[in-house]
Structure formats: C-alpha cells, structure tokens
Amino acid sequence: MSGPTQRTIKANGITLNVAEQGKGPMVLLCHGFPEGWYSWRHQLEALAAAGYHAVAPDMRGYGKSDRPEAIDQYTILHMVGDLVGVLDAFEVKDAVIVGHDWGATIAWHTARLRPDRFRAAAILSVPYRPRSPVPPTSVMPQTADAQFYQLYFQEPGVAEAEFERDPRATLGAMLFGASGEGAMAIRANAESAGRTAGVGMVSRKDGMLPKVPVPLPSWLSAADLDYYGAEFARSGFRGPLNYYRNIDRSWELMGAFEGVKVVVPALFIAGDHDLVIAFPGAAEHLANMKQFVPQLREIKMLPGCGHWTQQERPAEVNEAIVEFLRSLPG
C-alpha cells in the first residue's frame, strides 16, 4: 500500500495541510502539542488497510497549515469550526473523530457540539473534563520557584525563545520526557535525590527544557525527530502556544454549552505512565467520565505507556480504534 499523500484545503476561512490515506468512511485524526499530522503516521496506514479514509490535518498554527498571528484566533470554537470545515471540504456528511492531547480536548468538544457531523469519538490521553467553576489558569499550581507549564506558556515570546533556539532538541526533550521511558527515568532520578517529581512544573529560573542531551525513546527514530525538528524550525511555536493562551477565553465561551453532554459512542485510551493521568483530579475525571459521556464504551489503559499514546503503542492503539470503528452502527 502506498503511503499517505498531502494536500491543502480551505476550511473555516483558513488553509489547512492534510495528510490522507485510504478510501471509505472518514476518520479524522487531530494531533496535539507539539506534534503535527506526522504523529498519526502509524494510524493512517492501519486505518487505510482496514477500509477507512484516514485524514490527519496539521492543526491551525502547525506545520504547513495557516498560522494566524492574533492570539484570539485559537479558541476552542475556532478549532471546532476548522474540523467541521474539513468535512465540508471533503464533501462528507459525517466522520468519526480521533484526538490526542490538545486534539483530544478539541475532539471531545467537536463531538459534543456537532454530533450531527461527528458520529463517534476515540480519544487518547486526555479524559473528558467538565467545565470548571472558575477560569482554569486561576487554579493552576505555582510556587516561588516553579509554575505549572501552562502558566509558563502564557506570556507571549517567553516559551518561544526557549523552544526555538534548537527546535530538534526541543522536540527530542519533550518527546522523551513525557514518554513512558522518560516518566520512569524522571521518577527514578527524583527518588534517588530524595524528592518528589513535580508533575508539569517548570522552574522560574531555568525554564522547561533539560540542560543535558536526552536519549531517543525506543519508539522514535532519528529520521522521525529530523522531520519534527524541520517542521517546527519552519513554522515556529507561536501558533501551538496560542492554544494555551486561550484556555481562559475558551472557558468563557463554553459557558453557553454548560450541561451539554457528549452523546455519541466513545472510546478512551491512555497510558498508565501518562503525565496527564498523573495530574491532580485526573483519577476523578476518569471515574466520572461516563456521567458526561453516557455512551463511553471502554476505558483502555496501556501499561508502561506514556503520553505519546499512538506513537508509543501503535499496534495496540490501531487495534483498539479499528475494533471500535467496526462496532459502530452503519
């Protein structure tokens, strides 16, 4: 089978680059931070082989897609509109949506707000979280010495300066650090030093990235990292970071949809070494998810897997998604 092809489409007033493979019902794959369509390279092939049309865009702000300059162009409603626009560009009535990391949050809300266009959802890493009673950044942890990474991302230009010094090294550090292998290494180092590893905390003095080189995780090749590094060297980090700079704004906008549940069939997959699963409150979100996603079919946890679910465990993720797809009506 030939590999995925790429082309650009018009969606929601912007241009998106999409990778696609296969023919059949559409499965729309939404990546997270800091990735791109390439994070779905293993799924594109597997879904095409299973008889589906797999479509993976570079999300707004990433890769070869448009990167609006204004911060306010990256709210959750912009993202939902982009994905509806993808279906319109392909002239398809509906699709199954799959999302990971930021793409998971976007996919949850896309399925929630447009069940007429998205008939099911398979979500990786980030469980459904009901709207908090206060703006999210107001309760993110911070101390005199460190702050939660999403707070570190708020000031325009700060994280960009750190990440863009060497995009390939930045991607390598992030992909290793949040992987299952990286999580175990960080935990072991913290234990040997007699301290507790702070989940997602960034030093106010030293920034986010490690000061020493990190190894390639076993599931990532040097060529994979070269591809990621080249993409971010060209496109930069401002667009991806703008997602975080709209967390409170998106919280405000979503107040109009308070109480609306995700009513389509859903599957949730995560690694038990995923830093998102270690966040405070995540266990409660997992336990209560069916209250907000009444057609949740399964919560599948992958032992030893970290945050990069579909890249760390492609065979298991592919099998679970295809089985879920084949179980859907029609």
Q: Considering 101, 109, 224, 274, which one is annotated as catalytic? A: 101
Give the H or E element holding residue 111. helix 102-113
- Please write down the HEC assignment for all residues of 236-305: CCHHHHHHHCCHHHHHHHHHHHCCCCCCCCEEEEEECCCHHHHCCCHHHHHHHHHHHCCCEEEEEEECCC
Q: Are 75 and 250 in contact (CB under 8 A)?
A: yes
Q: Are 297 and 325 in contact (CB under 8 A)?
A: no
321 backbone dihedrals φ, ψ, rounded to 5°: -70, -45
42 is catalytic: no
163 backbone dihedrals φ, ψ, rounded to 5°: -75, -30
Query: Which candidate, 168, 152, 166, places its Cα nearest to that of 207?
Result: 152
Longest dimension (CA), the chain: 58
307 is catalytic: yes
Q: Helix, strand or coil for residue 57?
A: strand
Query: Which candidate, 238, 146, 212, 220, places its Cα nearest to that of 178?
Result: 220
Q: Considering 53, 78, 109, 307, which one is annotated as catalytic? A: 307
- Separation in Å, CA 107 to CA 23, 65, 149, 157, 176: 22, 18, 22, 28, 25
Provide the annotated active-site residues: 101, 307
